Amino acid sequence: MPGNFGSRRDISRKDFLALGAALAGTSLLPACSAFSMDPESADRSRSGGRAGATTAKGKEAPMLAARVKAGSLPPVAKRLPANPRVIQPLERAGVYGGTWRTVEASTDPSWLWMTVCHDHLISWDPTWRKIIPNVAESYEIRGDGREYVFKLRAGMKWSDGKLFTADDLLFWYEKIYLNKEITPVLPSTLQINGKPLVVEKQDDHTVTFRFPEPNALFLQNLAIHGPPFRLLPRHYLEQFHKDSNPNLGKDWAQTFLEKIDELNNVDLPVLTGWVPKNPHGDGDRQVWERNPYYFKVDPDGSQLPYIDKVVFTFFQEQGPLILQAANGDVDLYMRAEVTTPKNRPVLARGQKNGGYKLVKVKDPTHNTIGICLNLTHEDPNKRRMFQNKDFRIGLSHAINRPQIIDLVFLGQGVPWQTAPRPEVSFYKSDDMGTQYTVYDLKLARQHLEKAGYTRTDARGRRLGADGKPIVVSVLIQSRYPVMIDAMEFVKGTWAKVGVELRIDTASPELVGTRMDANKYDCTLDVGEIGYVDMLTDPRWLFATGGSSYAPLWSRWYEGGTPKEEPPEAMRRQAALYRQKVVGTSDVDTQYAGIKEIIEIARDEFWTMGISRPAESYAIVSDRIHNVPGDNRMWLAFKCPYPAVTNISQYYLEGE
């Protein structure tokens, strides 16, 4: 070493090249292509869409036509069912090819459920108004929602080319739904009042789902993001099930559950438009490639989807994800945590260079912040206080909503209570949303006094029944910094009427644990379900599972301990829900029922809100077409957009 200090120029150019070649030769094993500078697997580039545009469309994608020619795939006519589902393209018939580039927050598969994973027996139509057949050729509801008859498509095939029949549904019912090892407890949407459903096969293409009592929301519960049961292939799964393969060991159920994980088991045959090529758990990116047996065609009879591949690049942080979008590397993306008002300036600025636009998307969220006082508080004094409607009205009047909207939500939104959005068809009135939203400290004091809290101490703090100053601790999930900012303002104005607000932040898990234990005064929640999804999930109207304002009452409704019977008004709401909404498949009766429930909720004023959020937006590149335009999509879990807008008819063209 010492002697070599000055000899660093001794390596000659020749030596260097030889060294480089040797290095490359040893490290890059795949023989002849090792020195290639191009991506090894072709067709990942942007050129796919353009190439397709110049050739006639034909009945199937060029990449499949090539495989048919090579003899590795049957002709397209044999792959489609006898009666394929015909999809009307939104603007015009597309061209084949290309890769839909998109991004995903790491490990959260929601965006997959909202796009490539969503093909059930039925589906919402693109306007979120009615349920239409999808995998099923048709369906029929009998006996007020007691019986559901699905007619399947003759000759329809799984992505591996095997037939999809009634036996597959029956397999799910007998071997998964009824198997105690795989389904120890029945999902609440697949039973009614504790009684299981019965599935029967009429013939190879007809299946009946029968509930002992009407369960009119069954179809809506199937149409959600991540449905309670999925369509699974019997022919593939039988080898992993104890009933059909007795050689399996004790842990077979665990293996079976891994085998039906469609995101990670790339061998699992599926019915969706694209099939995964690598497991989701790779955590880096996931590639989905067209399903050669997909059952949809356009009006020309050309098999869908138009797009060859969908590539999801995973991100752990929002920063790179947003930059990637602003850079024009994303064709279509809409997820609430990215497409927030906060990120809008950056994304709007990148539009021209990145070659994309921001399309307005409606948000079914009815409230930025739902304030949930614990109506079943363990301390009797506090419980009486929170349950007093005048006390709640007083607090509501003591919130300066316009100020919070201006300073926390950047001026976007309008003051609103935890009430249905004005767009919902079953409740056309604004009165529930706007009641008690006026900022009026005098009115607030009047209501608090009416509630019986008239005494104040020397420092102007209002005294509770126990003679101590009233303190409300609000438990905020630390992942919502915006809520903490907003509550700082509420704290200031509540103090003016003599109520002290203490802000207590904790991780979502801890908040959940404390809520389950009924150990909190008040908590906050995003008012997510505020559009027609209120029909299937009325948590903001009365205490059901998922509601945050009365744990003991929710448990009374859901089953579970400890529980407590709610007041008469809420019992009436629950009864109405069972009879008129779940108990009948007649839409008019359902709407009348939910309207009554809303009116009770309005009169009782269980929870209060701050503001209705501004609209959201989607990132849509200039080269992806047939995507619905402004205000025609919703950001919803109960109706997964964009999947319901028939993503198989999207196509790529131009840059």
Partner 1 sequence: MLTFVLRRVLYMVPTVFLISVVTFAIISLPPGDYLTTLVAQMRAQGVQVDAGQLATLEHRYGLGQPLYVQYLKWISAIGLHLDFGQSFQYNRPVADLLAQRLPLTIVMALTTLVFTWVIAFPVGLYSAVRQYSLGDYLFTTIGFLGLAVPNFLIALVLMYLGYRYFGLSVGGLFSPTFADARWNLGKVVDLLGHLWVPVVVLGTAGTAGLIRILRNNLLDELRKPYVVAARARGIRERKIVVKYPLRIAMNPFVSTIGWILPLLVSGEVIVAQVLSLPTTGPLLLSALLSQDMYLAGSLILIVSVLTVIGTLLSDIALAWLDPRVRLGDR
19 belongs to the binding site for partner 1 (CB under 8 A): no
Q: Which of 174, 329, 488, 653 binds partner 1 (CB under 8 A)?
A: 329
Q: Are 446 and 438 in contact (CB under 8 A)?
A: no
Q: Are 394 and 451 in contact (CB under 8 A)?
A: yes
Residue with tokens 């379900």: 529
Cis peptide before 305 (omega within 30 of 0): yes
Q: Are 339 and 618 in contact (CB under 8 A)?
A: yes
Q: From the CB of residue 587, how many other CB atoms can be counted at a distance below 10 Å?
A: 14
Question: 543 by DSSP, 3-state: which?
Answer: coil
Q: Which of 156, 528, 535, 593 binds partner 1 (CB under 8 A)?
A: 528
Q: Which of 120, 539, 580, 623 binds partner 1 (CB under 8 A)?
A: 539
Instruction: Write out the E strands in 204-308.
Output: 206-210, 274-276, 285-290, 296-297
529 belongs to the binding site for partner 1 (CB under 8 A): yes
Q: How far is the CB of 231 from partner 1 (least distance, A)?
A: 19
Helix (H) or strand (E) holding 602: helix 587-604
Site for partner 1 in 418-457 (CB under 8 A): none
Structure tokens at 299: 């009006």
Comparing CA positions, the residue from 595, 593, 618, 604 lying closest to residue 553 is 604
Give the nearer residue to partner 1 in terms of CB position, either 200 or 558.
558
Q: Which of 101, 175, 382, 445 binds partner 1 (CB under 8 A)?
A: 101
Q: Alpha-carbon distance 41 to 30, whole Å? A: 13
545 belongs to the binding site for partner 1 (CB under 8 A): yes
20 belongs to the binding site for partner 1 (CB under 8 A): no
Residue range at the interface with partner 1 (CB under 8 A); choices 135-143, 268-276, 278-286, 592-600: 278-286
Q: How far is the CB of 209 from partner 1 (least distance, A)?
A: 18
193 belongs to the binding site for partner 1 (CB under 8 A): no
- Estimate to the nearest angstrom the gap between the alpha carbon of 387 and the chain centroid: 33
Q: Which of 15, 91, 125, 261 binds partner 1 (CB under 8 A)?
A: 261
512 belongs to the binding site for partner 1 (CB under 8 A): yes
Q: How far is the CB of 341 from partner 1 (least distance, A)?
A: 18
Determine the size of the site formed for partner 1 (CB under 8 A).
86
629 belongs to the binding site for partner 1 (CB under 8 A): no
Q: From the CB of residue 1, how many other CB atoms can be counted at a distance below 10 Å?
A: 4
Q: From the CB of residue 482, how many other CB atoms can be counted at a distance below 10 Å?
A: 16
Residue range at the interface with partner 1 (CB under 8 A); choices 124-132, 233-241, 324-332, 621-629: 324-332
Site for partner 1 in 205-234 (CB under 8 A): 225-226
Q: How far is the CB of 4 from partner 1 (least distance, A)?
A: 9
267 belongs to the binding site for partner 1 (CB under 8 A): no
Site for partner 1 in 147-186 (CB under 8 A): 183-186
Q: How far is the CB of 227 from partner 1 (least distance, A)?
A: 11
21 belongs to the binding site for partner 1 (CB under 8 A): no
Comparing CA positions, the residue from 602, 631, 637 lying closest to residue 616 is 631
Q: Which of 208, 429, 435, 544 binds partner 1 (CB under 8 A)?
A: 544
Residue range at the interface with partner 1 (CB under 8 A); choices 75-83, 102-110, 230-238, 456-464: 102-110
240 belongs to the binding site for partner 1 (CB under 8 A): no
Comparing CA positions, the residue from 369, 443, 365 lying closest to residue 607 is 369
Q: Alpha-carbon distance 149 to 143, whole Å? A: 11
Q: Which of 15, 108, 300, 655 binds partner 1 (CB under 8 A)?
A: 108
DSSP state of 648: G
Cβ-Cβ contacts under 8 Å for 281 (sequence gap 6 or more): 263, 264
Residue range at the interface with partner 1 (CB under 8 A); choices 81-89, 107-115, 242-250, 618-626: 107-115
Q: Are 182 and 257 in contact (CB under 8 A)?
A: yes
Residue range at the interface with partner 1 (CB under 8 A); choices 143-151, 274-282, 607-615, 617-625: 274-282
Structure tokens at 443: 């009115």
360 belongs to the binding site for partner 1 (CB under 8 A): no
Looking only at the bridges linking them, the beta strands covering 296-297 and 332-333 are unpaired
249 belongs to the binding site for partner 1 (CB under 8 A): no
332 belongs to the binding site for partner 1 (CB under 8 A): no
Site for partner 1 in 458-487 (CB under 8 A): 477
Residue with tokens 């090529």: 277
Q: Which of 37, 56, 70, 458 binds partner 1 (CB under 8 A)?
A: 37
- For the residues of 370-404, what is the DSSP string, one character each? EEEE-TT-SSHHHHHHHH-HHHHHHHHHT--HHHH
